[in-house]
Amino acid sequence: MLRMPYLRAARAVLASLTILLVAAAGSQPAAAAYPDRPIRVIVPFPAGGGGDILARTVLNKIAEQQGWTIVIENRPGAGGNIGVEAAARSAPDGYTLSYGTNGTHAINQTLYAKPGFDAVKDFTPVGRFTQIGLVLAVHPSLPANSVKELIAYLKANPGKVNYATAGNGTTSHLAGAMFKNTTGADFVIVPYRGGGPAMTDFIAGTVQMMIEVMPSALPQVQGGKLRGLGVTTANRWPLAKEIPTMTEGGMKDFVITAWDGLFAPAGTPKPIVDTLNAAVRKALADPQTQEALLKRGAEVVPGSPDEFGKFVGVEVARWGKLVKESGAKVD
């Protein structure tokens, strides 16, 4: 049994140790809350283009709502591959992210012999932004007022109609190839160096047909410069309900949509991905953001990282099949 002096001494030592342990614990730096510095998002397209505008619409809303600093870096080239590859090689710490589309993260995986990255293995999906519908349009000089009439005209006039594309392996090119394979119609596919030049010649009547993304084609249809025959979404487009779907026009299951979203390098911690996903979903829930996107031909499609990942996996295979069937290739 300890005597009283020894007991008092032992208690004093324990008290001192407790104070030291508390002090030591307090001296440890607390883990910083994410994010504690600016987030860089690489947009692999030129500033001011369609993809850049859609990306900024969502990212700027995220920055506004969350109080974060988001720096957008435009790094175009090779169909978006240069910027996306740079993001894939970045540290998986949540401070370098990539904006991606069905072009960069699906089509390019098969279109390019060496895209420089694997859309599934090299990235952790954060969240999908939107689906972007396409519209089958014809020049007013073409005597067709419906999808069925167009198919009949094409079959009666093989090789006489020119179909414009925004370039080899683009969404408009693959949509045209799918239309051709599905209907058996014979028309000439004419590749352009971008959607702008293609649309200029389309309006002029140099080419007479195109299946193009809404942001580019719908304003021309609604302005009376082109005639819209069908939209490629599963349901009629909210801002163009007078145009039937391709399915309604007689082409069963002819559903094609472009899309975009946010990606992080593979290995990014789940808590960071979840934080980013919550921010994306909050931004997409904003009515003004929804309206701004819809006016540009994009409809919000919020979802979880897991849902986006499964979607991308399906899209890589689907667009890859279309690329192979079209014969498009970039070495």
pLDDT of residue 314: 96
The dihedral sign for the CA sequence 88, 91, 92, 96: negative
Nearest CA to 65 among 286, 291, 296, 303?
286
Global pTM value: 0.84
Name the maximum alpha-carbon separation found in the chain: 113
For residue 2, how many other CB atoms are within 10 A of its CB?
9
Domains defined along the chain, listed by start: 39-131+259-326 (3.40.190.150), 133-231 (3.40.190.10)
Ordered DSSP codes for 116-149: SS-TTTSEEEEEEEEEEEEEEEE-TTS--SSHHH
The dihedral sign for the CA sequence 322, 184, 137, 247: negative
pLDDT per residue as tens, the chain (331 positions): 444 444 354 454 444 434 433 444 444 444 579 999 999 999 999 998 889 999 999 999 999 999 999 999 999 999 999 999 999 999 999 999 999 999 999 999 999 999 999 999 999 999 999 999 999 999 999 999 999 999 999 999 999 999 999 999 999 999 999 999 999 999 999 999 888 899 999 999 999 999 999 988 999 999 999 999 999 999 999 999 999 999 999 999 899 999 999 999 999 999 999 999 999 999 999 999 999 999 888 999 999 999 999 999 999 999 999 999 999 998 7
pLDDT of residue 194: 86
What distance in Å separates the CA atoms of residue 246 and residue 252, rounded to the nearest whole number? 7
pLDDT of residue 251: 96
pLDDT of residue 80: 94
Q: Between β-strands 123-138 and 227-231, what pairing exists: parallel, antiparallel or unpaired?
A: antiparallel
pLDDT of residue 22: 40
pLDDT of residue 193: 86
Nearest CA to 210 among 282, 268, 136?
136
* Beta-carbon contacts of residue 104 (< 8 Å; ≥ 6 apart): 44, 79, 80, 81, 84, 119
What distance in Å separates the CA atoms of residue 319 and residue 106, rounded to the nearest whole number? 6
Phi, psi of 170 (to 5 degrees): -80, 170
